[in-house]
Structure 1
Amino acid sequence: MVKAYLRYEQAASWGVVASGLSDTAGAIAYVPPAPRNVAEGVGVDIARPAAAAKERLAVVALERVGLWDVKKGTREEQLIPPRATDERGATLAQPRVTALARSPGGDVLACGGADGSVRLWRIGDDACDVTLRGHKRDVTALRFSNDGSLLVSGGRDADVVVWDVAAESGVTRLRGHRDQITDCAFVDLRGHRSAELFGRMLVTTSKDGYVKVWDLGTRACTQTLTGFDGETWSLDVNPSQTRCVVGTADDKLHAFDCDERRDGFDRESPLMAMGTMTRRAKGRAMTVRFHSSGEYLGVQGAGRGLEIYRVRGDKEAAKKQKRRLKRKREKMEQKAREAEELGDLDAAREEHEDDGARAAQDELELASTVTTKSKMRGFAFSSEVSKRTDVMCKVAVLLDDNAVHEWEIVDEGEPERVHAIDSSGHPSDIRAVALSPDDETVLSCSSNGCKLWNISDGECLRTIKGGYGLCVAFAPGGRHAIVGTKQGTIELVDVNSGAQLPVPQAHEGAVWGFAMLPDDSGFISASADKTVRFWEWSLEKGEDGMRTLSFNHTRTLQMAEDVLSCQVTPDGKLLSVSLLDNTLKVFFVDSLKFNLSLYGHRLPALCHDISSDSQLLASAGADKNIRIWGLDFGDCHRSIFAHQDSVMALKFVPKTHYLFSVGKDKLIKYWDADKFDPLLTLEAHHAPVWCIAVSTRGNFIVTGSGDRSLRMWERTDEPFFVDEEQERLLEAKLDEGIDDERVRPNTELPVEGEEGMAGRKTLETLTAADAIAEALELAEHETKRFAEHAADNVKAGGKLAPLQPNPLLLGQQPSQYALNAIAKIRASELERAILCLPFEFAHAILDHLFTWLTAGQKVELTCKLATLVMRTHADRLSRVPEARKTLVAIRPLLRSRAKEARDIMGFNLAGIKVLENFVRDNAEVRGGDDDGVPDFATERVPL
């Protein structure tokens, strides 16, 4: 009989405040306060102006986005991606968020993932609204258009994809760069005397060292800027859409004039160089951003510095330009006089050619520099106006040590740090975790001490400063804990107070592991000083006369090599140690006499554990293998290739022969040590997993990783079988190969040029294509069945009974059923789904279009389907006589229906503008009191 096991799934994750990447910009953004709920009725709540509430800070935290109240230092909300499952119901790992962008209105957040997807979140909602898939690799740049209608994403695959936010679908794919896209920005072109938009440009930077300008009307690259010293890393356009600043791999800022009102403006070359400005900090400019007012420019480098530049006004810049040109002219005249005195007539006659154009240094001046203790991974300007008159602006900085700081830039003074969010997570890798005896709390160690966490809600209960912790264990009773450090000390911590108690000197080398004695009389420590030491608990009287817990050294076992880990069998008879010479040795605890030597590992065994019945020992290490040993004779039961990188920790589940292992390959694996089968592979961490702790009942585990996160995995009631799980893993590997190709014969337009289709082929699009094909086949079958019945009924003189409808159509007509099936497909996947359909199904859609357009059903979707079918199969349809007749019949219907839909939309937009003006005028008429709060606090405008 096949054995069934219970599945483990991730139940909680905590410990990450902020996570940024070194080669992507945009991991932090200010967002407006959460919208207030209307208590009763349907209407617009105008009880409180938006300015009265404080902005929140959206910060990327691995696969999530946290919304923080910076002043209070509390996380108010988390944007958690929906639980993704495969066809068998197993939970899939969520991709890491690599880029973040906020819409101009602040109500929508766009998050780019490591899997190439873009998720759109509406602030205040718990669910993800839209998922767009267009990139093969990480999304490295995101930016909204100035009106929020378009979103552009750049990826590590060197493609730029433009998305329609309202339609939730792709507009176009732009190809031209040869390396990762680093940043992008929109440039709106408006008339000289009108504010109406007549053109939109897109500017992109890349690691290939080019800056490209794209015309979104023609969807082609109109200008390519070269001559930069290395990669181009970031850019931004000021709010007035007149200046573009580009940061590169060197210490220079490149400024460009993009004002369409300048003389000689050409849409083919909209960016005109204004020169460069040398930054104070050396190295690349990772992020360049303008303040929302356009008065300040922030430039973040690759190190620990953020430079704030003040943007001079037109009059001040003109004066600066005039003085610069005057000094330059005087210098040239002085050189000419010196040359004339020396008799160099040719040099004296030389005239300096200067067009007198405004340069970058005329408009920018360094105002302040923010320096932090650790490297920066992003920054964002706040749009709030400070009450202090000497504060120019406020900026939030994301740091590499899992923290966020908020600074106020003071006029003619040093920047002031006003708030910090750093107590809710470790600043570096989590190297050890331990669960309390009651499984209610977990203690984790990092480079600067420990943190105590509540298992139920993930809140940090206490922070304990100390050394670099490598191992940790709770003392009996759970009120104290011991921490082995890299410096060789053993710290004794009072968990309730967070204080360190005095203890004797322990080791001269790093303490790598602890083993608690089964009788709770003491513990054993393993160290890099080649000793294994025994310690006994004791009560010592302190200076205040109170007796406190301590420990005393009793025995020492000297070894020939560094000791990497140690364990004691649950029956208390044997002690096992792992040595640097790739061996494991077993001793008797009472006499410390040698018992067994376990050979087999080709590299040092970094960790090992013993089962609850003292029968099995499992060891693993740098050779990536897990070896199962019998403690009776020291025989190796099996050697298993477990991970793709070093195995850092493993633990048996109490009272079973199941064990968990974690490694540098970011995976957690679940094993059956009797059958030597891999049971589960748990994926969630985004960095090497260093440690693991198993609860006393085995109902959950806690893992710590280099991504600074702690994750809890709970055992569920869902059974699974080993064969099915292995089959699922194979299918997942095959699904990874599904991707869009550059050219797909007979089904896709050639993409030799710069423009391509926005979406990409995924498993979801293939499933959608299958659903459309099934609906079309069913509709065609029903149509033929009704036609045959009608013909037979005519032959029989109308005596046949009515034909019973097919229940699969749910009481709908075949054509209506097909249209409703297509309407269920997500807008972001529809284009690729239609592309995946064979030609005969595209022809079937064309036949249905006449019926849909005649009835006026879902006009917008119908017009989109007609466009997609013609773009994909225009050549073949033009050669089929039946299709040409259908196209001739559809053409007038398509135009008339599209015009009707446009008129209805225009009418609705006009009505919305009237309502908006009514709300604004009503607020202005009623006014406000001296305290700034309107006196219509209870009024609502009905919709």
Structure 2
Amino acid sequence: LDMVKAYLRYEQAAAWGVVATGISDTAGALTYVPASTSRGNDDFSDAQPAAAAARERLAVVALERVGIWDLKRGVRDTSLIPQPQPDDHGVTKATPRVTCVARSPNGDVVACGASDGSIRLWSLSDLDCDVTFRGHKRDVTALRFSQDGSLLVSGGRDADVVVWDVVAESGLTRLRGHRDQITDVVIIDGKMHKSAELFGRKVVSTSKDGYVKVWDLGTRACTQTCTGFEGETWSLDVNPTQTRCVIGTWDDKLHVYDCDESRDGYDQESPLVRMGTVTRAAKGRAMTVRFHQTGNYLGVQGAGRGLEIYRVRGDKEAMKKQKRRLKRKREKMEAKAREAEELGDLDAAKEAREEHDEEGARSAGDELELASTVTTKTKMRGFAFATEAPKRTDVMCKVAVLLDDNSVQEWEIIEEEEPEKLHAIENPGHRSDVRAVALSPDDETVLSCSSHGCKLWNVADGACLRTVKGGYGLCASFAPGGRHAIIGTKQGAIELVDVNAGTQLTVPDEAHEGAVWAFAMLPDDSGFVSASADKTVQFWEWTLEKGENGLRTLSFNHMRTLQMAEDVLSCQISPDGKLLSVSLLDNTLKVFFVDSLKFNLSLYGHRLPALCHDISSDSQLLASAGADKNIRIWGLDFGDCHRSIFAHQDSVMALKFVPKTHYLFSVGKDKLVKYWDADKFDPLLTLEAHHGPVWCLAVSTRGNFVITGSGDRSIRMWERTDEPFFVDEEQEKRLESMLDEGIDDERVRPNTDLPAEGEAGMAGRKNFGTVNAAAPI
């Protein structure tokens, strides 16, 4: 009888390198939160730390976690990240990406909406996730608390608006009427409503379908639909006194509405009355529109690199502006009327005089004036006003801005001057995709490469040790001893980095004429091999050069070149030092003898180029994978293909054998990390956590952990645990879990069939648990 083999499980142990992530079509990825209260008072015995502790902090979305930063010190105080919980079938799903955050008015609760449709409420006093709401089928794209903090309203990519009771920790109602993603929501509290009641409260929602809808929570119906925006409506906000509603749309217009309950002729059914538009300085859509908590300023962030701050004029000032505008208009019309009279056209003169009599109402331009513009080097993905009052009298307000390049900046808006940048958090992360990772020989340091150079990280705690500016790194490797590292760049250079000093050393100019795609270290530590898009494989030898100061420093010299007919995509030297394998753009792999560079084997079979390959520690097996999504296992003695395995849903970008085994890891553009047995050709584990294509992979010398780098700018560590698992059991659990995900509520009709007034529904969501619970009833 065959014994069923047990394997040891790998699980995510750490993730680092991400400061801030925003989504281009979802507002609200950051918010200010009160100063820390979770620590004991003993920590702050003297006055200075106590003052520092009183500073408000910034909660910023960073993939699946929310980081809470002290901006002045540039330190992350804590992170809000839910513990992974296995589902009913024992499968632990990847933690979903956080899409938006909102803080309650008193500041002690932060709501986080996620890409799986769940909403978690975190208490900042004890950093516990107290409540999880599940009401959306897809991403939560908008979140807002009511002014008293008793209600939370959420909008999703599934076009539904759901209202939650924060105190009772339950869903109240689902409002269905929009036909596309909800982009923003806000609650308007009527003056008559009591805090626990829904009557007198309204929800206003914007959507990509181009409508703005007003929902009465008492009747749970849509009472007003505003149209005429000629495109998507992206964001809205209501001022703190709940008298004005400003809506940002797909174009450069801000639409202002009067929602004041005390105005003459106020209609409960149609509370929004159009006041007109204000043309923004920036072109393109308005992504986020938010009032300052005082109501004196309005921030409008576009889809580009600009944030406009408008000053909201007071009542008297707006009245003066209105009178001046009407006076100018009267004078213009009077001149027009006189001109018509001189020409003898009495009807036109009468019409002109009647027209200026009608235009007496206040317009949007009377209340808003552009005060300042913050411009950043890269695109913005969100902003938030600070709630603390500024210390200086000339400072109007403070704003934090989340940028597309994995960084956050804080700016002071100064009266009649250019805004000043106060703080920036950018060092603990790469500005773009992590394209290469390498582990030091002692497995204590990780080197990661991106478009503007490399960073060195401590494996133990994920701290960024050094940042070295350089070219666009595509591959990296540590030199023997671990004190130096080499980086192959897109420009064709090979850079040599002193790891301890964090500096680049001088090396031979332009090693290659095309991108350097791969390195392979010679087993005797005498040098290395580089593979490039210039159709060459070059051999290099380590040397010690005397510098200007007389000290000897590490360098390398060119030894010999192997010319190929096609671009070389990857290369490996077998651990016994006898064979050199290269992968070419013509879909083949070629194997040569290292000593003579004579041709040995050609490996045919891939339908598209093999982007990566690796050789096992015993020099018996070669595994290759690439753009055809397949992994092929070859025998190195005869070059026969043992098996072709369909491995990923997109191109396989890297694979590595675990040292001294025939197990291997592969990563791909489908965001997955997979673990395989190359003898049995079985998929052992699928590791989900990355939120972008996974570009690179490094395995520790003992195989006890794996490092992966991704397009989501995160670097993740996967650790081998002591928990055994069986392949068949694992696959069965995963299938059952996927079945559960596929359950949907067949009673809910599609949004396209909804009546004009919308419809209300249950706030919860159907799954296996709810079906089983209902069965006995």
Shorter-normalised TM-score: what interval? over 0.9
Where is the strand percentage greater, Structure 1 or Structure 2?
2
Which residue of structure 2 lines up, in the alignment, with residue 403 of structure 1? 407
In structure 2, the partner of 1:455 is 459
Pick one of 438, 445, 448 that aligns with 1:441.
Answer: 445
8 Å CA contact retained: 2:36, 2:53: no
Q: CA deviation at 1:742?
A: 2.9
Q: Does 1:657 align with 2:662?
A: yes
Deviations 1:434-462 (A, max 9, x none): 00000001000000011101111111011
Matches within 5 A, 1:50-89: 53-87=54-88, 89=90
1:393 aligned residue: 397
Deviation at 1:88, TM superposition (A): 5.3
Alignment of 1:540-555 (within 5 A): 540-555=545-560
Hey, what does 2:639 align to over in structure 1? 634
Are the equivalent residues in 1 in contact too, given 2:89–2:737 (CA < 8 A)?
no
The answer for the alignment partner of 1:209 in structure 2 is 210
Whether the aligned pair in 1 keeps the contact of 2:12 and 2:716 (CA below 8 Å) is yes
Q: Which residue of 1 aligns with 2:6?
A: 4
Which structure 2 residues correspond to residues 647-796 of structure 1 after superposition, within 5 A?
647-743=652-748, 754-766=759-771, 769=773
**Partner AA of 1:30 in structure 2:** Y
| Aligned 8 A contact 1:566 1:577 in 2 | yes
Residues 400-433 of structure 1 show CA distances to partners (whole Å, capped at 9, x for unaligned) of: 0000000000100101101000000001000000
5+ residue gaps in structure 2?
A: 43-47, 750-754
Measured in 1, the distance between the counterparts of 2:388 and 2:654 equals 48
Residue 15 of structure 2 aligns with an amino acid whose one-letter code is S
SS of 1:426's equivalent? coil
Q: SS at the partner of 1:339?
A: helix
In the alignment, what sits opposite 1:561? 566
What's 2:20 paired with?
18
Shift of 1:39: 6.3
| Aligned partners of 1:643 and 1:665 also within 8 Å | yes
Q: Structure 2 vs 1, CA of residues 39 and 561 (structure 1 numbering), >3 Å: closer, same or farther?
A: closer
> What residue in structure 1 maps to residue 601 of structure 2?
596
- How do 1:23-62 and structure 2 match up within 5 A? 23-35=25-37, 53-62=54-63
CA–CA separation in structure 1 for the residues paired with 2:614 and 2:622: 6
Shift of 1:618: 0.4
Report the CA distance between 1:761 and its aligned residue: 1.2
Query: Which of 429, 435, 446 is matched with 2:433 structurally?
Result: 429
> Given the alignment, which residue of 531, 535, 540 partners 1:535?
540
| Residues 148 and 544 (structure 1), Cα distance of their counterparts in 2 relative to 1, 3 Å cut | same
TM-score (norm 2): 0.95
Indicate how the Cα distance of structure 1 residues 50 and 481 shifts in structure 2: closer, same or farther if over 3 A, else same.
closer
- 1:800 alignment counterpart: none
User: Which residue number corresponds to residue 352 of structure 1?
Assistant: 355
State the Cα distance separating 1:752 from its structure 2 match.
11
The answer to whether the 8 A contact 1:294-1:311 is kept is yes
Candidates 578, 584, 588, aligned match of 1:579: 584
Task: Indicate if the aligned counterparts of 2:655 and 2:665 stay in contact, CA closer than 8 A.
Answer: yes
Give the 3 Å change call, closer, same or farther, for CA 502–202 of structure 1 in structure 2: same
2:335 matches 1:331: no
Match of 1:352, SS state, is: helix
Q: Of residues 405, 420, 423 in structure 1, which corresponds to 2:424?
A: 420
Distance (whole Å) between structure 1 residues aligned to residue 632 and residue 535 of structure 2: 24
Count of matched residue positions in the alignment of Structure 1 and Structure 2: 759
1:477 aligns with 2:478: no
Contact 1:84 1:93 in 2 (8 A): no
Question: What aligned pairs does 1:268-347 form with structure 2 within 5 A after superposition?
Answer: 268-347=269-348
Distance, in Å, in 1 between the alignment partners of 2:596 and 2:341 is: 100
Residue identity matched to 1:524: V
Q: Deviations over 1:523-553 (max 9, x none)?
A: 0000111110000000011111111000000
For residues 48 and 625 of structure 1, the distance between their equivalents in structure 2, rounded to whole angstroms, comes to 57
> CA–CA distance in 1 between the matches of 2:585 and 2:148?
62
Distance in 1 of aligned mates of 2:487 and 2:438: 10
Is 2:629 the partner of 1:624? Answer: yes
- Partners of 1:206 and 1:258 in 2: how far apart? 19
Find the counterpart in structure 2 of residue 230 from structure 1: 231
Change over 3 Å in CA distance of 1:3–1:766 after alignment to 2: same
Aligned residues of 2:63 and 2:98 also touching (Cα < 8 A): yes
| Rounded Cα–Cα distance in structure 2 between residues aligned with 1:470 and 1:464 | 15
- Kept in 1, the 8 Å contact 2:378–2:405? The answer is yes
Bigger mean CA deviation after superposition, 109-118 or 756-765 = 756-765
Distance across 1 between alignment mates of 2:198 and 2:577:
80
Distance 2:734 2:393 in 1: 61
Q: Which amino acid aligns with 1:576?
A: S
C-alpha contact (below 8 Å) 2:18/2:428 kept by paired residues: yes
Residues 491-544 of structure 1: per-residue CA shift (max 9 Å, x gap): 000000111000002111100000000000000000111110000000011111
The 8 Å contact of residues 177 and 756 in structure 2, kept in 1 or not, is answered as: no
- Secondary structure of the 1:190 match is coil
Deviation at 1:740, TM superposition (A): 2.5
Provide the rounded CA distance (Å) in 1 between the counterparts of 2:238 and 2:758. Answer: 27
Q: Is 2:268 the partner of 1:264? A: no
Deviation at 1:736, TM superposition (A): 1.3
Query: 1:37: how far off?
Result: 5.1
Counterpart in the other structure of 1:465: 469
Is the 8 Å Cα contact of residues 690 and 705 (structure 1) preserved in structure 2? Answer: yes
2:140 is matched with which residue?
139
Q: 1:196-219, CA deviations, whole angstroms, 9 ceiling, x for partnerless residues?
A: 997211100000000000111111
Match of 1:499 in 2: 503
Deviation at 1:257, TM superposition (A): 0.5
Preserved contact between residue 14 and residue 710 of structure 1 (Cα < 8 Å): yes
Aligned to 1:330, the other structure's residue is in SS state helix
Q: How far apart are the structure 2 equivalents of 1:19 and 1:559?
A: 42
Matched position secondary structure for 2:310 = strand
Q: How far 1:333 sits from its partner (Å)?
A: 1.2
Percent identical across equivalent pairs? 81
Say whether the 8 Å CA contact 1:212–1:221 is kept in structure 2: yes
**Contact kept in structure 1, 2:539 and 2:561, CA below 8 Å:** yes
* 1:37-70 superposed Cα distances (whole Å, 9 cap, x missing partner): 5669xxxxxx999997110000001010000000
Deviations 1:734-785 (A, max 9, x none): 11112233359xxxxx999611000111244346x2xxxxxxxxxxxxxxxx
Q: Which has the higher contact order (CA 8 A, sep 6+)?
A: 2
User: What's the secondary structure of 2:655's corresponding residue?
Assistant: strand
In structure 2, C-alpha distance between the alignment counterparts of 1:487 and 1:173, rounded to whole Å: 54
Paired letter, 1:689: V
Cα separation, 1, equivalents of 2:204 and 2:729: 49
Q: Deviations over 1:344-368 (max 9, x none)?
A: 3322221215341111100000000
Query: Could you say if the C-alpha distance between residues 521 and 48 of structure 1 is closer, same or farther in structure 2, counting changes exceeding 3 Å?
Result: closer
Given that residues 89 and 736 in structure 2 are in contact (C-alpha distance below 8 angstroms), is that contact kept between their aligned partners in structure 1? no
| Aligned 8 A contact 2:63 2:691 in 1 | yes
Q: Is the 8 A contact 1:431 1:691 kept in 2?
A: yes
Compute the RMSD of aligned alpha carbons: 2.0
Residues 97-176 of structure 1: pairs in structure 2 closer than 5 A: 97-176=98-177
Q: Call closer, same or farther: CA 1:39–1:347 in 2, change over 3 Å.
A: closer
Q: Is the 8 A contact 1:742 1:751 kept in 2?
A: no
Confirm or deny: 8 A CA contact 1:454 1:460 kept in the other structure: yes
Deviations 1:219-277 (A, max 9, x none): 11111000002000000000011000000001000000000000000101101100000
Q: 1:712 to 1:220 in 2, by over 3 A?
A: same
Alignment match of 1:644 (pick from 649, 652, 673):
649
Structure 1 pair 751–347 and aligned structure 2 pair: CA distance change class (3 A):
closer
Deviations 1:575-632 (A, max 9, x none): 0001111111011101111111111111000000000000000000000000001111
Aligned to 1:884: none
Distance 1:323 1:613 in 2: 87
CA contact (8 A) 1:191 1:197 kept: no
Kept in 1: contact 2:188–2:201 (CA 8 A): yes
Q: Which residue of 1 aligns with 2:367?
A: 363
Report the alpha carbon displacement of residue 387 of structure 1 after superposing the two structures with TM.
1.8
Q: Secondary structure at the match of 1:324?
A: helix
Alignment partner of 1:377 is 2:381:
yes
Q: Which amino acid aligns with 1:454?
A: N
Deviation larger for 702-711 or 330-339: 330-339
